[in-house]
């Protein structure tokens, strides 16, 4: 078995690595401190074709695949997670539902601009009272005069309020099934639609240079043709998108974990304590060795999940495993890196300080660690647990 990257993947990885080092690393700290969205960096990423990586050339994509996206996310997150999550959410959550479930007309209307990075898409699933329990959706949509009338609120939505946000795909209750359960469908709501209100940006612990907001829909009307996929299939559609997205978040988490190692290796070679560089002390060496082992295992896990996905094999369990161990690795490495840096690691201007702030959300977004354990248990055939 050969785990070496094929030449086209390695070329992409190196290109994004160089871009992250040259264009992102020198300036992202200032954006982070100002909690400012880095439009110029995003424009450069668009120019590289990163937003079109896994989409067909028919829609002005790059003709690549999901693994190519994951490699790009890993390299970006080695330097900064805000730009990485902007790409991840824009592609795997914003554009991918349209690619997977949209009509040909919807694809031709939206995908070219999304692939070019001229427009960002957002993924409206989470609500104030419905996070892990996505089936608790309260947002509603009713058909009236050839239009869907949407009412409700979505929370913690990435890429939803930037100057280039073009649409949000929204889950809404559109009726009731015969067995009494909610019928949930997905609708495309263009930015600027009357009745669609975007709140001010959240004040967040991390990901400070990314855009995250609450969305409100008050008698918001969109054409009946804005139904994405079949009516009543919205919940299933979003679950499948989340399965894929967990591989992407795992890749991003591996990038953060690797970034912690990168920073520590540079630091311990120049920082002295008691007359020696701290990298000569076994306690520091062991910390970094553990960081490397965690990152290596997590990378192999997301590579495996991506391979199964691209072969058309079931990958739900592998995606959950990849996200679980990768986010654990990111959190553990960020904690250890901060400890190695000491007081310097607690400063926001330090990359390690940013990594520490950014790591925790990885254990929450796109399915908490608890949800991943639940999914793994179910895939192993364990049923009936309630706590």
The tens-digit pLDDT sequence of the chain (387 residues) is: 667 899 999 999 999 999 999 999 999 999 999 999 999 999 999 999 999 999 999 999 999 999 999 999 999 999 999 999 999 999 999 999 999 999 999 999 999 999 999 999 999 999 998 766 766 889 999 999 999 999 999 999 999 999 999 999 999 999 988 777 899 999 999 999 999 999 999 999 999 999 999 999 999 999 999 999 999 999 899 889 999 999 999 999 999 999 999 999 999 999 999 999 999 999 999 999 999 999 999 999 999 999 999 999 999 999 999 999 999 999 999 999 999 999 999 998 899 999 999 999 999 999 999 999 999 999 999 986 555
CA 382 to chain centroid:
28
Say yes or no: domain 236-379 is CATH 1.20.140.10. Answer: yes
The residues annotated with a catalytic role in the active site are: 366
What pLDDT, on a 0 to 100 scale, did the predictor assign at position 385? 55
Instruction: Tell me if 122-232 shares its fold with 236-379.
Output: no
Looking up tokens 């895939």 gives 379
What pLDDT, on a 0 to 100 scale, did the predictor assign at position 210? 97
Among the residues of the chain, which ranges form H helices?
7-19, 28-34, 39-47, 66-77, 81-88, 96-101, 104-116, 234-268, 282-310, 316-341, 351-359, 369-379
User: Whole-angstrom Cα distance, residue 113 to residue 120?
Assistant: 8
Q: What is the largest CA-CA distance in the chain?
A: 79
Segment (H or E) for 268: helix 234-268
User: Model pTM?
Assistant: 0.95
CA 190 to chain centroid:
21
Q: DSSP code of 144?
A: E
Other Cβ atoms closer than 10 A to 159 = 28
Structural domain 122-232, CATH architecture: Beta Barrel (2.40)
User: Whole-angstrom Cα distance, residue 18 to residue 48?
Assistant: 12
Q: What is the CA radius of gyration of the chain?
A: 21
List CB contacts of 364: < 8 A, sequence separation 6 or more: none
Q: DSSP code of 50?
A: G
Which regions of the chain does DSSP assign to beta strands (E)? 120-124, 140-144, 147-158, 165-176, 182-190, 196-198, 212-223, 272-273, 276-277
Whether the CA torsion 324, 120, 204, 263 is positive or negative: it is positive
Pick the CATH number of 7-121 from 1.10.8.100, 3.40.50.1860, 1.10.540.10, 1.20.120.330: 1.10.540.10
Is 189 within 8 Å of 145 (Cβ atoms)? no
Domain residue spans of the chain = 7-121, 122-232, 236-379
User: Whole-angstrom Cα distance, residue 345 to residue 263?
Assistant: 10
Instruction: Give the residue among 67, 44, 42, 45 at the shortest CA–CA distance from 54.
Output: 67
């Amino acid at each position: 078995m050969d785990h070496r990257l094929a030449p086209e993947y390695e070329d992409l990885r190196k290109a994004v690595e160089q871009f992250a080092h040259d264009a992102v690393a020198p300036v992202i700290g200032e954006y982070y401190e100002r909690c400012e969205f880095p439009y110029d960096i995003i424009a450069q990423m668009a120019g590289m074709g990163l937003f079109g990586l896994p989409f067909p050339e028919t829609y002005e994509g790059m003709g690549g695949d999901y693994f190519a996206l994951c490699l790009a996310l890993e390299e970006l997150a080695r330097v900064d997670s805000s730009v990485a999550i902007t790409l991840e959410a824009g592609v795997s959550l914003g554009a991918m539902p349209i690619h997977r479930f949209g009509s040909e007309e919807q694809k031709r209307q939206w995908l070219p601009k999304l692939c070019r990075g001229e427009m960002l898409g957002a993924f409206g699933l989470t609500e104030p009272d419905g996070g892990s329990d996505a089936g608790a959706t309260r947002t509603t949509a009713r058909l009236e005069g050839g239009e869907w009338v949407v009412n409700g609120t979505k929370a913690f939505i990435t890429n939803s309020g930037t100057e280039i946000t073009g649409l949000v795909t929204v889950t809404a209750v559109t009726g009731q099934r015969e067995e009494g359960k909610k019928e949930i469908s997905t609708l495309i709501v263009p930015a600027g639609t009357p009745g669609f209100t975007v709140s001010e940006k959240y004040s967040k612990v991390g990901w400070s240079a990314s855009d995250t907001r609450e969305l409100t829909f008050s008698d918001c009307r969109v054409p009946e043709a804005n139904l994405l996929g079949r009516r009543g299939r919205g919940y299933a559609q979003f679950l499948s998108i989340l399965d894929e997205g967990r591989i992407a978040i795992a890749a991003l988490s591996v990038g953060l974990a690797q970034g912690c190692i990168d920073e520590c290796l540079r630091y311990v070679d120049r920082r002295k304590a008691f007359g020696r560089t701290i990298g000569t002390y076994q306690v520091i060496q062991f910390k970094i060795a553990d960081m490397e082992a965690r990152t290596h295992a997590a990378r192999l896990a997301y590579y495996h999940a991506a391979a199964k996905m691209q072969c058309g094999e079931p990958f739900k369990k592998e995606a959950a495993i990849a996200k679980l161990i990768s986010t654990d690795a990111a959190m553990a490495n960020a904690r250890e890196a901060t400890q190695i840096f000491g007081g310097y690691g607690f400063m926001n201007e330090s990359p390690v300080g940013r990594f520490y702030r950014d790591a925790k959300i990885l254990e929450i977004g796109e399915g908490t660690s608890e949800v991943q354990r639940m999914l793994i248990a179910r895939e192993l055939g364990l049923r009936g647990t309630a706590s």
